[in-house]
Amino acid sequence: MRILIASDKYKGSLTASKVAETLHQVLSMGLQDCEIDLCPIADGGEGTTEAMITALDGQWVEIPTLDAQARRIEARYGWIAHQQEAVLEMSAASGLALVNDQPLHPEQASTYGTGLMILDAIQRGAKKIIIGIGGSATNDAGLGMAAALGYQFLDARDQAIQPIMAHLHRLDQIVPPEIVFPEILVACDVDNPLLGPHGATRIYGPQKGVTDFVFFEDRLKKLADTAARDLSCDPREIPGSGAAGGLGYGLMTFCGAHLVSGFDLISAKIGLEERVAKADLIITGEGRLDAQTLHGKGPMGVALMARRLGKAVVAFAGSIEDSPTLRSHFDLAYAIKPSQMPLSQAITEAPALLATAAERALPEIKALLGLAPVQ
């Protein structure tokens, strides 16, 4: 018998690798005759780099950069030497979690630090860059990133403006740098455009401190109009251009990037379908299984792949929404957080809670594998 553990992270609590290791410890003792394959997954958000370098024998590269509020930090990205590929997460430099310790100032928040990471990968000789864009603290459409890569943003008197949203109303001209970009693939699983009622500002802005929608809409439109004229590029309506505060738009406009399904991209790179096909049982999960899971999240991608290949699939999650539609995609689904336990405590005790849930699930998992009578 062969079990594949292909779980996403439990955000703020357990990395995907730690989930896999915890489940492996329990299952290897309770199912001693089973071979267990560990395959951490991600869908383009936080955890993408870890999943990729684990699967592809990569290494971490650490560089000095800036967070979304221009504070000096160290950030790291993945380097796959034998393929000369870099794997980045914008959240490592421009993520919301990095600036939650202070009041949010979205009119100043910048993706400049993400641009420094991309520049370092290019200077390292990357032939391909894969970047996950979940978890952003910014709503600047990649303006700061572009500045870090050498783009100049000028006013009507040909004077440089500071590349933040607070000054973008003065924009009159965009001058591109002399830089050759490698192939850049953007792992993105949302379909929001840059502007409008379903765009970056109105859908994702509030969590980053945005309250004046008109302020940001006007400035993003000015950026898009100026770029369309000066760079002959206008992807503002392309699904996903509004992802990560418009960074999807910025990567397409300033770097010639292509947006692709995060789950599809990562699963192809780590050979997920082949590993599912070889397994008798698939275990997946994430911090919370809910309605969002149904719309392109990693565990749903795993479950759909398992169903298509005729494999049993089990989920472990911090919590699970009471949804028959959601549960129908899994043979078994276990919430590890006791209903009365405070979330903060559950986050702290997640490894032990997951191990306990796995131990309790062993009889049903054995039955699902045909190794024990159905209880």
**Over the stretch 14-65, which tens digit does the pLDDT of each residue have?**
999 999 999 999 999 999 889 999 999 987 777 889 888 888 889 999 999 9
List residues bridging with 186 in a β-sheet: 131, 259
**Over the stretch 227-238, which tens digit does the pLDDT of each residue have?**
999 999 999 999
Whether residue 254 is found in the same domain as residue 290: no
**Over the stretch 326-346, which tens digit does the pLDDT of each residue have?**
999 999 999 999 999 999 999
Q: What is the pTM of this model?
A: 0.85
Using alpha carbons, list the distances in angstroms from residue 375 to 41, 70, 173, 189, 272: 31, 58, 70, 39, 31
DSSP β-ladder status, 183-187 and 258-260: parallel
6 alpha-carbon distance from chain centroid: 16
Domains: count for the chain: 2
**Over the stretch 126-135, which tens digit does the pLDDT of each residue have?**
999 999 998 8
CATH of the domain at 171: 3.90.1510.10
Whether residue 67 is found in the same domain as residue 169: yes
CATH of the domain at 278: 3.40.50.10350
Write b or e for each residue in 160-189: b if 16 or more Cβ atoms lie within 10 A of its Cβ, otherwise e: ebebbbebbeebeebeeeeeebbebbbbbb
Domain boundary among 262, 286, 311: 262
Whether residue 32 is found in the same domain as residue 56: no
Structural domain for 325, as ranges: 2-41+270-368
Using CA atoms, how far apart are residues 68 and 122, in angstroms rounded to an integer? Answer: 21
151 alpha-carbon distance from chain centroid: 26
Whether residue 152 is found in the same domain as residue 236: yes
Whether residue 100 is found in the same domain as residue 73: yes
DSSP category for residue 263: H
Using alpha carbons, list the distances in angstroms from residue 297 to 189, 244, 276, 288, 293: 8, 16, 17, 11, 5
Using CA atoms, how far apart are residues 94 and 225, in angstroms rounded to an integer? Answer: 25
Using alpha carbons, list the distances in angstroms from residue 71 to 11, 244, 312: 24, 20, 47
Using CA atoms, how far apart are residues 12 and 46, in angstroms rounded to an integer? Answer: 10
Q: Whose structure tokens read 């290494």?
A: 59
Q: Are 250 and 165 in contact (CB under 8 A)?
A: no
pLDDT at residue 47, as a whole number: 81
Using CA atoms, how far apart are residues 197 and 335, in angstroms rounded to an integer? Answer: 35
Residue 24 lies in a domain: yes
- Alpha-helix runs per DSSP H in the chain: 16-30, 48-56, 91-94, 112-123, 143-148, 200-204, 213-231, 243-255, 262-269, 272-278, 298-308, 324-327, 343-348, 350-368
**Over the stretch 83-128, which tens digit does the pLDDT of each residue have?**
999 999 999 999 999 998 989 999 999 999 999 999 999 999 999 9
239 pLDDT higher than 80? yes
